[in-house]
Amino acid sequence: MPPPHPAPRPCPLTTGLPRLDAVMHGITAGDNIVWLVDEWEEYRALVLPYAAAARASACDLHYFRFGPDPALVEADAHTTVHSIDPAKGFERFVRGVHAVIEAAGRGAFYIFDNLSHLAEAWTSDQSMGNFFRLTCPRLWRLETVTYFALQRARHAEQGVGPILRTTQFMLDIVRVDERLYVRPIKVPHHADESMDTIHLWRGEDFIPVRESAMLAQILSRIRAPKLQSDVRGGYWQRLFDEVDGLLRDERAGRAAPGARPALLQRVRLAFAVHRSGIAPLVEQFLTLEDFIAIRRRMIGIGSVGGKTLGMLVARAVLRERAPDLAARLEVHDSFFVGAEVFVSFLIENEVWWLREKQKREETFLSDLDEGRARIRQGRFPAQILEQFESMLDYFGESPYIVRSSSVLEDARGNAFSGKYESIFVVNRGTREERLAALLDAVREVYASVLGEEALLYRKRRGLLNSEERMALLIMRVSGAPHGRYFFPQAAGVGLSLNPYVWHPDIDPRAGVVRLVFGLGTRAVDRSDDDYTRLVALNALHRRPETSFEEACEHAQRRMDCLDLSTGRLTSLPLHEVLREKGAELPLDLYCTEADDGHPWVTFDGLLRDSPVPADLRRMLAVLEEAFGAPVDTEFALNFLSDGSHRIHLLQCRTFQFQRVTAGLAEPSANLARRPLLSAGGAVIGVSRELRLARVIYIVQEAYARLPEQTRYAVARVIGRLCRRHDEATGGLLLVGPGRWGTSSPALGIPVSFAEINHASAICEIVAMHERLIPDVSLGTHFFNDLVEYDTLYVAYFPQKSGNLIDSGWFEAAPNRLLAEEPDAGDFADVIRVIDCFDPAQPDVWLRADATAQLAEVFSVPASPPSGTAA
């Protein structure tokens, strides 16, 4: 039995770079540290301070020299160089190395040449991995500290896998734009906090990178997710093998003429591009290389859906037509879940035949609860789970969002705004917990395909028989952590055509953006508890408000963000988030201080002192020109530490807004008119004149007296009335106090758009709240519904000069409520249902001019019956 090794001299355990020690939360006796590098110089830059620290403490340092590169260190009084030739065979090399280790005993320091040279010498990645499996545990038991290097992206799993599983540390050294970054791949338990945090290596400093813009830029270049693990064949594998072969032939100059267009057409067919409403744009702007990039980040196969294609085409347009703008876009490193995963999931979990009922008008709302329940409990095949896990390994602990991207979604005329779910995932916890959260989010988006609003929308658009397949777009959430909260600095929606013209200075063709501080959910969805900033891009400082005090009164007070501690999307008062430790932000761009020192979100600095508004205006113009129609975009915005900004283009689709191309029609006879309602803005929608068949009028005073819970019952009655309206008989006008479609009955009438989508026009009487102004929610789901259903929106301001309403006529006209809803007697003084085709009553017309921002409802003597002289 060999004698025990003597106790080692007390040597400091350090990398020689104190701030790198802090990143790693210290190293301990027995640690093996593997560095993934591209160049010898990068490894040497790490070795030199490590060796210098060992020498300065007079510790034994052993350097194993076996590669062709220049020596990393030279021999001296405390450094021994051991030259061992791996060409003499695996076993002799292992014995030689271990003889040195045994002789040195406990507590020594070691440096190995790049292990990749061993794979070359033995022509086997697996032999390299086996050597490490034999050596690393012995070094650990002897309480040594050892440096290894490995060439990045050069070895098979049989070589890298054993090293990753055996070592204590594995860290990546990557160079992006001439900067070096350290990325932990594996760390011991005591260093868990450094996991998934990339650090910029600048001199002796190691600065954490937390901005999504920088993380995506770095990882998308150097960290290829290994999603396509199934290489057993199949059509997609063979197709992309052909693509790889074509690229090799092109590089060698032997590709056949016409080979690329023919293969690209087959790739488009595999992605079902022909089913997209923007297929011509896809064919014009997405190259074969773009589809290769999609495939490399794809889980499963099939179509990637309309939302994904819209986003990718928009980025490709900017790449081609405005490369300087494209350079200021935040890199997207998204993942795409193919539509075939959805189809297989439905079949595997016995939902397919339930879903088939939704294609028949008589059963399209049947068994929805059962179908959604099966989806939420559904299982995924092992291969898809493996790919999901690979995606999570790529994202680390960065938050992401699972977005719907169905085959029908965002095609021309079919935006499906808000009909399908999008789920934020904070992505914290153990690997098992993070995977479970991802699967729950995917299931929830899948289940929304059987949502009642989505199916009613499809029925209205004549799409029940269309084949709807749900692909997914999984995107990194833009922004950075600020203390316990994660959010972008700003976000919003942008329209290339501004339909909300509240002042003569505003040019509708210049576009408009709706900005919020924090996550863009408050700009995309209706937020009844707060305000947003609407910016006409040719009149940046022209606000609806006339004073700073009014602007403050209508400034954003709450923000949406991700709470990293609770793992939830949350809405909080702004001051609560901003006072969080670590919430460093360029607030001068977003906030203006009042005389009392209170900061108000105005975006004045951003609009006055930054190039962002010009970038947004130009971006919208370029996209509109390429799409051949006005566009509706979603974006996030962040300023980086160097003062530059990045715009994250999240979505782009055609904006369903029709221009006025001809004069407005007059009623059947130019008879004396009785004005019933006149409103001078806001008028949103297509200019029109139409005869009304019915008016549903909500009596403001009676509604205001109702308890809030009772107002929900009123909304349900209105919904039933609207659903029974036959649009062939004429227009339906809704007139009521406050906001239609609000989630808060204190602010208006809490109907869903699915309940009132048969209405031709909606009028909001702005009188529910003394501070309430109409928030038309441009770019929001509610607004898109208004536009796509060709529903006119009118805001009536009682105090505005020239505005009038003949409430006496609306309240005195015969009420059809009880004839339609016999059980609604409690609401007879609240809801007035006025039929306008009563021969005994005058005809009622609606005339709206969106350009002039004028709308009026008026009556004229009834039209004579057909065949009767006027």
C-beta of residue 834 within 8 angstroms of C-beta of residue 815: yes
**CA–CA separation, 281 and 270 (whole Å):** 17
Least confident of 166-170, 214-218, 451-455, 565-569: 451-455
- Tell me what pLDDT residue 785 has: 65
- Tell me what pLDDT residue 220 has: 84
- Tell me what pLDDT residue 414 has: 61
- Residue 261: how many CB atoms within 10 A of its CB? 9
- Tell me what pLDDT residue 671 has: 60
**CA–CA separation, 53 and 204 (whole Å):** 14
Q: Quick one: pLDDT band at residue 869, thresholds 50, 70, 90?
A: very low
- Tell me what pLDDT residue 212 has: 92
Single out the residue of 39, 1, 38, 31 nearest to residue 13, CA to CA.
31
C-beta of residue 817 within 8 angstroms of C-beta of residue 832: yes
**Residues 6 or more apart in contact with residue 430 via CB below 8 angstroms:** none
- Burial environment of residue 207 by CB neighbours within 10 A (0 to 12, 13 to 18, 19 or more): middle
Query: In a 3-state reduction of DSSP, which class is residue 597?
Result: coil
**Backbone phi and psi for residue 830, each to the nearest 5 degrees, phi listed first:** -105, -45
**CA–CA separation, 243 and 263 (whole Å):** 7
Q: Quick one: pLDDT band at residue 831, thresholds 50, 70, 90?
A: very high
Please report, as a single letter, which amino acid is at residue 465: N
| C-alpha 319: how far from chain center | 20
SS3 of 475-498: EECCCEEECCEEECCEEEEEECCC
**CA of 369: how far to CAs of 421, 447, 451, 784, in Å?**
16, 10, 9, 27
pTM: 0.77
Please report, as a single letter, which amino acid is at residue 453: E
**CA–CA separation, 276 and 563 (whole Å):** 36
- Tell me what pLDDT residue 155 has: 85
- Tell me what pLDDT residue 444 has: 95
**CA–CA separation, 690 and 706 (whole Å):** 33
- Tell me what pLDDT residue 26 has: 87
C-beta of residue 310 within 8 angstroms of C-beta of residue 286: no
The 10s digit of each residue's pLDDT in 492-542 is 999 898 876 667 788 888 999 989 999 998 877 655 567 788 899 999 988
Tokens (6 digits) for 472: 């997914």
Tokens 């519904």, located at residue: 785
- Tell me what pLDDT residue 447 has: 93
Instruction: Express as a percent the part of the chain with pLDDT over 70.
Output: 88
Q: What is the average pLDDT value for the chain, to the nearest integer? A: 86
Q: Give the mean model confidence (pLDDT) for residues 37-59.
A: 92
Instruction: Express as a percent the part of the chain with pLDDT over 90.
Output: 55
C-beta of residue 355 within 8 angstroms of C-beta of residue 346: yes
**Residues 6 or more apart in contact with residue 756 via CB below 8 angstroms:** 718, 719, 722, 734, 740, 741, 762
Single out the residue of 33, 35, 64, 71 nearest to residue 150, CA to CA.
35
- Report DSSP state, residue 622: H
**CA–CA separation, 719 and 753 (whole Å):** 9
| Beta-sheet pairing, 533-536 with 512-517 | antiparallel
**Backbone phi and psi for residue 822, each to the nearest 5 degrees, phi listed first:** -60, -25
C-beta of residue 532 within 8 angstroms of C-beta of residue 514: yes
- Burial environment of residue 293 by CB neighbours within 10 A (0 to 12, 13 to 18, 19 or more): middle
Q: Give the mean model confidence (pLDDT) for residues 210-235.
A: 74
Peptide bond between residue 682 and the one before it cis (omega within 30 degrees of 0):
yes
Q: Give the mean model confidence (pLDDT) for residues 598-621.
A: 95
Query: In a 3-state reduction of DSSP, which class is residue 500?
Result: coil
Query: In a 3-state reduction of DSSP, which class is residue 808?
Result: helix
- Tell me what pLDDT residue 770 has: 43
Helix residue ranges, H only, 107-211 = 116-122, 125-141, 157-166
Tokens 């029940």, located at residue: 464
**CA–CA separation, 573 and 211 (whole Å):** 23
Q: Quick one: pLDDT band at residue 315, thresholds 50, 70, 90?
A: very high
| C-alpha 177: how far from chain center | 26
Reply yes or no on whether the pLDDT at 870 is more than 80.
no
**CA of 420: how far to CAs of 134, 433, 763, in Å?**
53, 25, 27
Helix residue ranges, H only, 113-156 = 116-122, 125-141
Q: Report how many helices (DSSP H) and strands (DSSP E) the chain contains, helices first.
A: 30, 37
The 10s digit of each residue's pLDDT in 118-145 is 999 999 999 999 999 999 999 999 999 9
Across 417-431, 654-668, 694-708, the highest mean pLDDT is recorded for 694-708
- Residue 801: how many CB atoms within 10 A of its CB? 6
**CA–CA separation, 740 and 734 (whole Å):** 9
Q: Give the mean model confidence (pLDDT) for residues 802-810.
A: 92
- Tell me what pLDDT residue 863 has: 60
More confident residue, 410 or 346: 346
**CA of 330: how far to CAs of 282, 476, 603, 648, in Å?**
21, 11, 21, 5
Please report, as a single letter, which amino acid is at residue 159: G
Residues counted in the chain: 870
Q: Quick one: pLDDT band at residue 802, thresholds 50, 70, 90?
A: confident
Q: Quick one: pLDDT band at residue 661, thresholds 50, 70, 90?
A: very low
Single out the residue of 79, 52, 60, 73 nearest to residue 11, CA to CA.
60
- Tell me what pLDDT residue 774 has: 42
- Tell me what pLDDT residue 771 has: 41
The 10s digit of each residue's pLDDT in 425-476 is 999 988 899 999 999 999 999 998 888 877 777 776 677 767 778 999 999 9
The 10s digit of each residue's pLDDT in 375-426 is 999 999 999 999 999 899 889 889 999 999 988 775 555 656 667 889 999 9
Least confident of 10-24, 33-47, 486-500, 655-669: 655-669
